Amino acid sequence: MEKYEKQDLRMQKASGTLRMGMTDAIALRYDNEMEWTTPSRIWLDAHANYQTATSYDANHLQPELNESTLEESGTVLEYSNNIRELRDKLVTCGQTPSYAHLIFHILEGLPGTPEWPTWVMVTKAALPNQNLLTGFKKLKELLLAY
């Protein structure tokens, strides 16, 4: 009996973990433990029903990344977090943006006020050309420091 209870607990944890990765609206669909008895049933159903939605989501996320601006976000930290969140969502959709792409969008989303173009020019010169991941991290650092 104890072996069964441990297995049941592992199944509940796995199912809960799957639901935690979903939006609330989707997770509610899988809340009925009588119908969704195993994590594999949840996974198979979610994969079958939401695979198309994921590609549609990517079509919405790419323009959102293109139109994201610092002024819209309010603060540099919120802007940085917004870019990171959009990147993570695109990765989930199977459309991972390159670091060069992210650097471009971060710099393009900065305000057009006189101090920013100068900052962008100086910052572009300071970014390493060889390693884009390092350049992306350095850009985020410099942006938060500014």
What is the C-alpha separation between 126 and 113, in angstroms, rounded?
21
Q: Give pLDDT tens digits for 54-83.
A: 555 777 888 888 899 999 988 888 998 889
Which tops the pLDDT comparison, 125 or 54?
125
Chain centroid to CA 21 = 12
Dihedral sign computed on CA atoms, order 39, 40, 45, 48 = positive
What is the C-alpha separation between 121 and 123, in angstroms, rounded?
6
Spans of all domains in the chain: 1-57, 68-146
pLDDT value for 43: 78
What is the C-alpha separation between 13 and 38, in angstroms, rounded?
10
pLDDT value for 85: 87
